[in-house]
A and B are shown apart, each in its own frame.
Chain A
């Protein structure tokens, strides 16, 4: 290890908070719930991350950014491990993160709930997603697939603007 002083776990977490999600530049990877654990029992330090959506092209970039950040902080003995054991859910996003999303113009995910009959999709099209711009409840689902895997597209009748909703998974 190149570092003389022992680094605390909290310090590593705070460095990771400096790593930004490339697709949603107002959020860092800790508040997104992407970083699951920092294990320092042994050398090298292990940083466990979990993919958000499996088709998410940002995951590679995020991993590279974490590498860059750690090296920048003078830590060279570490590895980033993708952990598939748990599957990421939007419930892991912090409240602050959801607020930042809204301010950024993306309607944040609500809490996930047991789906009824997911096939008929009733729950989804009936779900009311408030507009992040004007808070109007007069919004309509346009498509379950948006510009990235994690977002669906809505239209607001209040301010007559389209907006994106971060899907709950």
Chain B
């Protein structure tokens, strides 16, 4: 199933593809957030980022488990630890280095806002009970993430000269990676037909409104959306950063495949 450019046909195949896309986004994002452990700007924030990272990895883990169940694989570890970068289906925005705190916040805000609208629509749409249950559970936590990152955008944007400058630079830098959030490809289309995904363009305006309002409320400027937008990561065309991230994340498990916690 992980072969490149294989278009799913059945509902099951389509669901597996969507589960893996969602899970890959979340494990990569969670890994980047976890890099902040012990480096947060203050203790509360250190804990907050570690918590959000854990949630992300938790979401990924349950999505992978369901994919494993559907594909008859032994467990979810195969997906996380034994695939190479070209097989990962996450969008590029999430694999970029963590940058400074403002960059991490910009990314978390844009992605949480997207996840929030996506999950709301998906829960409404899908008739797969297990999938729906997972999403409903995750949505509760996504609301916390969204509120948390949104508050930081406002605080840093409307803060000191330095924090304002950094927050603006963060949005400028990440903007060309936001296009990919709303890309729709053949696999998505099949999934939409089978009601295991939704047409993301239906909530593009809601996302845009929330993002623009927040950026402007933070006295910042919304970057130009007509600029060149990166795309292709879901099909394996990643930036150079994913390989390094995976090398770190997968090293232990690949070097000692039978290692267990004592």
Interface positions of A (Cβ within 8 A of B): 51, 53-57, 82-88, 115, 118-119, 121, 142-147, 149, 153, 169
In the complex, A121→B145 CA distance in Å? 12
| A144 and B144 in contact, given A84-B137, A85-B129, A86-B133 (Cβ under 8 angstroms) | yes
In the complex, A51→B59 CA distance in Å? 11
* Chain B residues whose CB sits within 8 angstroms of the CB of A53 once the complex forms: 55, 58, 141
Min CB gap B212→A, angstroms: 14
B262 at the interface (CB under 8 A from A): no
* Chain A residues whose CB sits within 8 angstroms of the CB of B148 once the complex forms: 144-145
Residue interface mask B129-146, A partner, CB < 8 A = 1: 110111011101101101
Query: Are B54 and A55 touching (Cβ within 8 A)?
Result: yes
In the complex, A118→B210 CA distance in Å? 13
B199 at the interface (CB under 8 A from A): no
Interchain residue pairs with CB less than 8 A apart (23):
A51-B62, A54-B55, A54-B61, A54-B138, A55-B53, A55-B56, A55-B59, A82-B65, A84-B130, A85-B129, A85-B130, A87-B133, A88-B137, A118-B143, A119-B146, A143-B44, A145-B44, A145-B50, A145-B51, A145-B52, A146-B51, A149-B51, A153-B44
* Chain B residues whose CB sits within 8 angstroms of the CB of A169 once the complex forms: 140-141
In the complex, A56→B129 CA distance in Å? 22
B1 at the interface (CB under 8 A from A): no
B15 at the interface (CB under 8 A from A): no
In the complex, A115→B143 CA distance in Å? 11
Query: Are A87 and B136 touching (Cβ within 8 A)?
Result: yes
B29 at the interface (CB under 8 A from A): no
Query: Are A119 and B58 touching (Cβ within 8 A)?
Result: no
Q: Which of B98-145 contact A (CB under 8 A)?
A: 129-130, 132-134, 136-138, 140-141, 143-144
Q: Which of A51, A57, A82, A145 has the most CB of B within 10 A?
A: A145
Q: Is the interface of A mostly helix, strand, loop or mixed?
A: loop
Partner of A56, one of B58, B66, B143: B58
- The residue on A at minimum CB distance from B129 is A85
* Chain B residues whose CB sits within 8 angstroms of the CB of A83 once the complex forms: 133
B13 at the interface (CB under 8 A from A): no
- The residue on B at minimum CB distance from A147 is B47
Min CB gap B132→A, angstroms: 8
Query: Are A142 and B44 touching (Cβ within 8 A)?
Result: yes
Residue interface mask B142-185, A partner, CB < 8 A = 1: 01101110110000000000000000000000000000000000
| A149 and B137 in contact, given A118-B143, A143-B48 (Cβ under 8 angstroms) | no
Partner of A119, one of B133, B138, B147: B147
Query: Are B147 and A118 touching (Cβ within 8 A)?
Result: yes
* Chain B residues whose CB sits within 8 angstroms of the CB of A57 once the complex forms: 54
* Chain B residues whose CB sits within 8 angstroms of the CB of A147 once the complex forms: 47
* Chain A residues whose CB sits within 8 angstroms of the CB of B52 once the complex forms: 145
Residue interface mask B214-254, A partner, CB < 8 A = 1: 00000000000000000000000000000000000000000
Min CB gap A84→B, angstroms: 4
* Chain A residues whose CB sits within 8 angstroms of the CB of B53 once the complex forms: 55
B57 at the interface (CB under 8 A from A): yes
In the complex, A149→B57 CA distance in Å? 12
Min CB gap B206→A, angstroms: 12
* Chain B residues whose CB sits within 8 angstroms of the CB of A87 once the complex forms: 133, 136-137, 140
In the complex, A50→B133 CA distance in Å? 11
Partner of A55, one of B58, B129, B136: B58
